[in-house]
Amino acid sequence: MAATDIARQVGEGCRTVPLAGHVGFDSLPDQLVNKSVSQGFCFNILCVGETGLGKSTLMDTLFNTKFEGEPATHTQPGVQLRSNTYDLQESNVGLKLTIVSTVGFGDQINKEDSYKPIVEFIDAQFEAYLQEELKIRRVLHAYHDSRIHACLYFIAPTGHSLKSLDLVTMKKLDSKVNIIPIIAKSDAISKSELTKFKIKITSELVSNGVQIYQFPTDDESVAEINGTMNAHLPFAVIGSTEELKIGNKMMKARQYPWGTVQVENEAHCDFVKLREMLIRVNMEDLREQTHSRHYELYRRCKLEEMGFQDTDPDSKPFSLQETYEAKRNEFLGELQKKEEEMRQMFVQRVKEKEAELKEAEKELHEKFDRLKKLHQDEKKKLEDKKKSLDDEVNAFKQRKTAAELLQSQGSQAGGSQTLKRDKEKKNLGFL
Ligand code: GDP
């Protein structure tokens, strides 16, 4: 067959041509694998659920290790997110695993805002990644991606229905993260109750429009298993790091007076299903979905909020420069407006203060005048009194001198004169 016969149009002007011999680009997948292995992988899990539902135990059981951490108390004033990162190695593959756990979730009387710290945490990780992407010199290959890839939502094994806290929280998170709901401590519920509980949870999630993560069925190699596993959601799990001898094998299990529950026995719980789906089959899809769906949504909203668009109103390609200029002008305009408002406010305040001070000064002057007048009156009164007292003293002194004079004359003139003296005394006012 001639080469021209084989060549055909693919897409726009793209032709398929035959190769005369081996070129070597069929090793591209191997190159990719080698590169990824040498770079290592990262995976971030968020465990949301009430304190004591077995979040830490399940993580230890899933990764076959004992992660450090103090058990949480029920006395937290609010919900906090505790994040720990660990370096794990299996064969020659390195995994940087981050486990984020909600501390104090469901422990408050008012649970209205319990979802907020979780939403803020997820957004903060998206924001950090976006900031790195927008940098002029970005180092995304060395950047520790902390975006949450999977959210394990722990449901209490009540056997009834979902709590409103669970529904509200899942609803708030479903557009930001891949939610995998799990029934925690499922050894606390009987098999028949569990079947009914799973159906009830699924119907409540559907009726409330909560989007949970669906294992992908578009890849042929995993379509069947993923399809089957989707029907098993929410997984009912049991956690335990205790190893017990069952038969002649050591197995992870929980022992009770009436028997033993084996964690990895599929007849006892869905732990193996969860591990298969989360780690062995869909870890890469979870990472992919986080980047292409949830982060993309965050990024789009954020950039639109900042005024960026793909095309301008005339459907012309959008100019970054123009957007920047427009935003800058808008910002400067607002800044000027604010500055003017503040200036006006300042002038107004100064005027008010000036008037207040003037009023106070006037009052002080009036008070001073009043006091001055009072003081003058008082002084005048005292001066008058002093003058009248001085007059009285002078008059007294005069009378005294006259009396003394009379007395001395009297003693000289003898007793005959007494009558005359008495008369004169009377005239002087002594008798
Ligand atoms: P967290 O506060 O959600 O991290 O809960 P923990 O992992 O600290 O577990 C709290 C308690 O529940 C511990 O005593 C665990 O041994 C116990 N626990 C954990 N998983 C299970 C389980 O699957 N079934 C039962 N019955 N108890 C469990």
Q: Residue 347, Cβ neighbours under 10 Å: how many?
A: 10
Q: Report which secondary-structure segment, H or E, holds 284.
A: helix 283-289
CA of 282 to the centre of ligand 1 (A): 26
Angle, CA 352 vertex, CA 356 and CA 361 arms, to 5°: 20
Q: Residue 137, Cβ neighbours under 10 Å: how many?
A: 4
Q: Which of ligand 1's atoms lies nearest the C-alpha of 238? A: 23
Instruction: Report mean pLDDT in 10-residue bins for the chain, 431 residues.
Output: 47 80 90 89 93 90 82 72 88 90 81 87 94 86 90 92 90 94 92 91 93 89 88 90 84 87 87 91 93 94 80 65 80 94 96 96 96 96 95 94 90 67 62 51
Measured distance CA(51)–CA(72) in Å, rounded: 7
Q: Report which secondary-structure segment, H or E, holds 262.
A: strand 259-262
Measured distance CA(95)–CA(284) in Å, rounded: 12
The answer to whether residues 147 and 290 touch, using CB atoms and an 8 Å cutoff, is yes
Measured distance CA(431)–CA(427) in Å, rounded: 8
pLDDT score recorded for residue 425: 62
CA of 59 to the centre of ligand 1 (A): 11
CA of 184 to the centre of ligand 1 (A): 9
How many Cα atoms are found within 13 Å in the side-chain-facing hemisphere of 186? 28
Q: Whose CA is nearest to atom 17 of ligand 1?
A: 54
Measured distance CA(29)–CA(250) in Å, rounded: 39
The answer to whether residues 307 and 323 touch, using CB atoms and an 8 Å cutoff, is yes
Q: Whose CA is nearest to atom 27 of ligand 1?
A: 185
Q: Which of ligand 1's atoms lies nearest the C-alpha of 269? A: 23
pTM of the shown model: 0.72
CA of 308 to the centre of ligand 1 (A): 48
Measured distance CA(425)–CA(97) in Å, rounded: 129
Measured distance CA(194)–CA(158) in Å, rounded: 9
The answer to whether residues 62 and 278 touch, using CB atoms and an 8 Å cutoff, is yes
CA of 53 to the centre of ligand 1 (A): 5
pLDDT score recorded for residue 304: 85
Q: Whose CA is nearest to atom 10 of ligand 1?
A: 52
The answer to whether residues 165 and 61 touch, using CB atoms and an 8 Å cutoff, is no
pLDDT score recorded for residue 390: 94
CA of 265 to the centre of ligand 1 (A): 18
pLDDT score recorded for residue 117: 92
The ligand 1 site (C-beta within 6 Å) comprises 49, 51-57, 71-72, 185, 187-188, 238-239, 254
Q: Whose CA is nearest to atom 25 of ligand 1?
A: 185
CA of 67 to the centre of ligand 1 (A): 14
Measured distance CA(219)–CA(3) in Å, rounded: 33
CA of 185 to the centre of ligand 1 (A): 7
The answer to whether residues 155 and 181 touch, using CB atoms and an 8 Å cutoff, is yes
Q: Which of ligand 1's atoms lies nearest the C-alpha of 101? A: 4
The answer to whether residues 331 and 339 touch, using CB atoms and an 8 Å cutoff, is no
pLDDT score recorded for residue 210: 92
* Ligand 1 probe mutation, 47, 51, 57, 107, most atoms within 8 A of CB: 57
Q: Whose CA is nearest to atom 2 of ligand 1?
A: 52
Helices and strands (H, E) in the chain, number of each type? 12, 11
pLDDT score recorded for residue 124: 94
